[in-house]
Amino acid sequence: MKLVFGLPHMLRLKAMMQPWEAGVTGAEQTRMAKRADELGYDMIAVPEHIVIPAEHVELSGPHYFQSTIAQAYLAGATERIMLNSCVTVLPLHQPIVLAKALATADWLSGGRMMVTFGVGWLQREFEVLGVPFGERGRIADEYLAAIIELWTCESPRFEGRYVSFSDVAFEPKPVQRPHLPIWIGGDADAALRRAAKFASGWWSFLTPPEQIAERVDFIKSQPEYDGRAFDVVHGMATTRVGEGHVRRHDPHARSGMSGQEIIDRLSWLGEQGVTVSSVPLPAVRGVDEYLDYAQWVIEEIKPNVR
């Protein structure tokens, strides 16, 4: 089981965060990312929203990074750990510019960038940015195809409704081949079909963990799935968050679980097909206590997961 290191204060989501996290600075995040790298965590993943409508701030919080910029910064501060997003809201980005940014960061980091794309759910965010919310799935599919074309073809060419290009050069290409890993976030059938066609991983959010195996079977039953290696992500604390970022209670995602409870839960998730997860944070008082707990997870939990 690969483990994601949850970097505090990448968002202020009421359902998940502890009060001290809002005081964590960028300098402290940098120190924590370096320590996670040293400890052997597999990944840091960066959430993204561009703007949060005022009516959603109470639950969602106002604080989110532009995911690619944050990933690139954290890659520069570390040496081994992979940098992902969870998720980059693809329809809100110009795809050629985004492809360039991700390829640049992958090249400079020696091949440590990943990206999880989603189509978004916050309609007013789309309205503020002038992107048609009802077309976001079609936009995402076209942008994905165009980005892959830019990353993999020596003479990229694409003709679509939302993006077109020809007779252009595009370098650097990503270091990773055929391109940096693309995962898809979301739970609707359309998201899973998108994962089957374009991705090497799926990040589940609202799917109950007992339904993950069934949904993975759905992905792999699609005609576009070609048998490629495929990761499945479900963080243990994910079930604390419901649709619209409302708070939910789940005894299997509570903070302060014993080591054996965490080991048993991660092992059970692995039996459902999950390959990447994260551990709920217990009540701590700040950065140093959190890093001590993060070390305990690596030393006592990870080696014992079946």
* Count of C-beta atoms within a 10 Å radius of residue 109: 21
Structural domain including 281 reads 2-304
pLDDT band at 234 (very low <50, low <70, confident <90, very high): very high
CATH number at residue 53: 3.20.20.30
Per-residue pLDDT, 238: 79
How many separate domains does the chain show? 1
Cα dihedral angle (266, 267, 271, 276), rounded to 10 degrees?
40
d(CA 198, CA 45): 20
Residues in the chain: 306
Place of tokens 């052997």: 40
Closest by alpha carbon to 305, among 255, 254, 262, 252? 262
The bridge status of strand 43-46 relative to strand 82-85 is parallel
pLDDT in tens, 240-268: 565 665 655 556 556 678 999 999 999 99
Task: Dump the DSSP string for 101-170.
Answer: HHHHHHHHTTS-B-EEEE----HHHHHHHT--GGGHHHHHHHHHHHHHHHHH-SS--EE-SS-EE-S---
Per-residue pLDDT, 248: 55
Per-residue pLDDT, 252: 56
d(CA 110, CA 113): 9
Residue 282 has pLDDT above 90, yes or no: no
Average of per-residue pLDDT across 168-180: 98
Closest by alpha carbon to 182, among 207, 160, 152, 139? 152
Closest by alpha carbon to 83, among 16, 149, 37, 24? 37
Residue 65 DSSP class: B
pLDDT in tens, 14-54: 777 889 999 999 999 999 999 999 999 999 999 999 999 99
